[in-house]
Amino acid sequence: MIKMNFKLSTAELKKMQSSADEACQLLKVLSNRDRLMLLCEMSQGEKCVGELEAALNLHQPSLSQQLTVLRKHKIVKTRRDGKQIYYSIASQGVVAIIALLYKQYCKR
């Protein structure tokens, strides 16, 4: 095995630090059971609030609170159809993370 010694440039280091900060922020948001369950349900497709409430047995105001956190961090997006608001995952990166977590923890 060849060991290479190299040092990151200041610009590369700043970019790496910025990326790590973004990843840390996302992981903080994901480190909540209710939010993970909501994202897992949404990974199966767009869901309205009533569907999420029924599927996960989450009730107001907890459901609204967790959806607000996910919206604030731009992890989910919304679509209104009449009186219904539909939620879906806004990022393919988050879809990939949820799929990995599902594979590791839900398919046992």
Residue 7 lies in a domain: no
Does the residue 93 lie in any domain? yes
Identify any residues that bridge with 78 across adjacent strands, giving them in sequence order.
87
The single-letter DSSP state of residue 86 is E
Cα 68 to Cα 10, 62, 76, 78, 97, distances in angstroms: 37, 10, 9, 11, 20
Nearest to 37 by CA among 63, 13, 18, 17: 63
Interval 17-63: pLDDT, tens: 999 999 999 999 999 999 999 999 999 999 999 999 999 999 989 99
Please report the pLDDT score of residue 3 as a whole number. Answer: 65
106 pLDDT above the threshold of 90: no
Q: Structural domain of residue 96, as residue ranges?
A: 33-106
Task: Give the CATH number of the domain where residue 98 resides.
Answer: 1.10.10.10
Domain assignment present for residue 78? The answer is yes
Is 90:46 a contact under the CB 8 Å cutoff? no
Q: What is the pLDDT of residue 41?
A: 95
Number of independent structural domains in the chain: 1
- Rg of the chain's alpha carbons, rounded to an integer? 18
Whether 2 maps to a domain, the answer reads no
Predicted TM-score (pTM) of the model is: 0.85
